[in-house]
Chains A and B, each alone.
Chain A
């Protein structure tokens, strides 16, 4: 498939008041508040959580200057320690859930690579984590949500009440309505520590083998050194972990730890191949020189990058995006390898290439993961980035895969439609039923779903 000549409909800028995590955004403001019912009374255009989606998912469409900011609507409504069921307002963050509930033996059922994520954002992206192969997505643990839909009504939906609306909302990128409350079952953990093993793997095959043979571990992920080419292509680190048994865990509660902040946008000359190479070498060699087996804090295990608040500034003012796609198992290993080789060849300056084997597909109509390999790489924004994204998307389509919308900035509508040909009609039908005039929309939905700007 050849790329068409049109530039993707992205009208994002650096330094704007409303930004995606990649640093680009649009002018406008968040109307924040503690009362989501009041804030969503007139059915505003979009809700936004902590803005950890990379591209334009949490940004308003052209001409709309305000989005609902949910992060201060963060009350716990109830918690039942017998079942682990937490009911809370949509702005409650995973970070607070960890702070409040880990001391009591409970943890979010699914943890992404950052805890600065709201419940509403976790539902809207139907997030996944290192335990996807055993636990599925976040949505699998959501029992119900309460939403303000386009008509202005407040409805509760679940797998039994308005199931189509519920399933469209899991991974629906906020386009089905404003999530006000979320009921999710927390995981009861055996200790507040993770037992972790990290090991160096010399080749791409060894890395994929390692992920497969570790599938009885609750948590797995691998990291590829994208700068290692030729014979050493695919060298990386395999990490696997599980909640430590009480006797394996240190006696004390995991310390909170320091949070350094990257204070300013790094000049782009810092982000050349040499710095990245140095970063990879250091990280890689850290694994080489230390035999890393033993307990680690959940913070260090799940969210190593949260320690560097606003680390994205290291990418400079032009910002960055991420490309994350899943290559279905049916496409075969070779398809994953060639895909990763292309990534390594073209996106060599990315800091992180994360590879993870996904388990069964969830029931969210547009949820991202499906059985296969998920591959994610940060890409600094340059004039060439849209073309690279096109190339990666074409390779993804060829392999029968799809991309993760919450990371996306540059994908074209025709590519998205090609990836989602099978699933889009059902999603569109639900959305059209609940919001026939598309009152609720985003910059992303204008770009990818064909909404009127």
Chain B
């Protein structure tokens, strides 16, 4: 049966690929994004790929006042909501963030506070409508504090915690929470960075995410190998991490 899904982040990267997988199986979609022009192009792409219905709405995750109206509008456009997918977030290298507290404040605010506030609005609405899936992109970076990306990864660590707790708290009341932990993926976010081993493609991530949505998994690493990588890393003693400059 086709689903009715809100996607925040469908204009680029992994969100674009997730929206495509949903479109290709005939789902109904509401896309939230910052620029109407980008949303229009995403809509044409998804319609060309077979989406049953695509509605767009300009939306900025930095603007908390917009959250309730956007979710309300999405619900009324589609009649009901089965899932809300959030891939939007900001990124900055540790060096760039350390050099500018203003930029850091913005990243901490959008990636943590605003994302969680948006999740609160979305999950409340999903539960009012009888339950559904809240699918949020965190990161493997949130699993362990590293010297190279502490500020960004702190927001993801907090987000992962929140999502795990949400799952425990509302699981019985029909809310399915899926915390997605991508490894290093080739997208605009990582363009120009040095690629580590096991670098993945957004397309393979999207397939894993949609499969995890369908089986109502609470967490998914993508590509899968990152689950193993992070298992190893989670057991690395601090002195080893320090010695290898991790």
Q: Which residues of A contact B (CB under 8 A)?
A: 31-34, 72, 75-79, 86, 88, 99-100, 104
Contact = CB atoms under 8 A, between A and B. Distances in A.
B146 interface: no
A75 B50 contact: no
Contact of B24 (A77, A86, A100): A100
B45 A75 contact: yes
B48 A78 contact: yes
A32 B186 contact: yes
A72 B50 contact: no
B19 to A, nearest CB: 11
Contacts of A86: 48
B114 interface: no
B23 to A, nearest CB: 9
A100 B49 contact: yes
15 contacts: A31-B191, A32-B191, A34-B16, A34-B188, A72-B187, A75-B44, A76-B45, A77-B44, A77-B45, A78-B44, A78-B48, A79-B48, A88-B48, A100-B24, A100-B49
A72 B186 contact: yes
Contacts of B202: 72
B48 A76 contact: yes
Contact of A104 (B12, B41, B44, B50): B50
Contacts of B186: 32, 72
A79 B49 CA distance: 8
Contacts of B45: 75-77
Contacts of B42: 75
B118 to A, nearest CB: 24
Contacts of A100: 24, 48-50
Interface in B32-53: 41-42, 44-45, 48-50
Nearest to B186: A32
B160 to A, nearest CB: 27
Given A75-B41, A77-B45, 19 more contacts: A31-B191, A32-B186, A32-B191, A33-B188, A33-B191, A34-B12, A34-B16, A72-B186, A72-B187, A72-B202, A75-B42, A75-B45, A76-B44, A77-B48, A86-B48, A88-B48, A100-B48, A100-B49, A100-B50
Contacts of A32: 186, 191
Contacts of A88: 48
Nearest to B45: A75
Nearest to A77: B44
Contacts of B191: 31-33
A72 B11 CA distance: 12
- A34, A78, A88 — most chain B CB neighbours (10 Å): A34
Contacts of B44: 75-78
Contacts of A99: 24
B198 to A, nearest CB: 14
A88 B188 CA distance: 20
Interface in B80-106: none
A78 B202 CA distance: 22
B49 to A, nearest CB: 5
Contacts of A104: 50
- B24, B45, B187 — most chain A CB neighbours (10 Å): B45
A76 B41 CA distance: 9
A14 B114 CA distance: 48
A99 B48 CA distance: 13
Interface string B4-44: 00000000110010000000100000000000000001101
Contacts of B188: 33-34
Nearest to A100: B49
Contacts of B50: 100, 104
- Per CB-CB distance, the 7 closest pairs between chain A and chain B, nearest first, are A76-B48, A75-B45, A79-B48, A76-B45, A100-B49, A34-B12, A77-B44
A78 B188 CA distance: 24
A34 B9 CA distance: 14
Contacts of B41: 75, 77
A259 to B, nearest CB: 11
Interface in B153-188: 186-188
A5 B12 CA distance: 52
Contacts of A75: 41-42, 44-45
Contacts of A34: 12-13, 16, 188
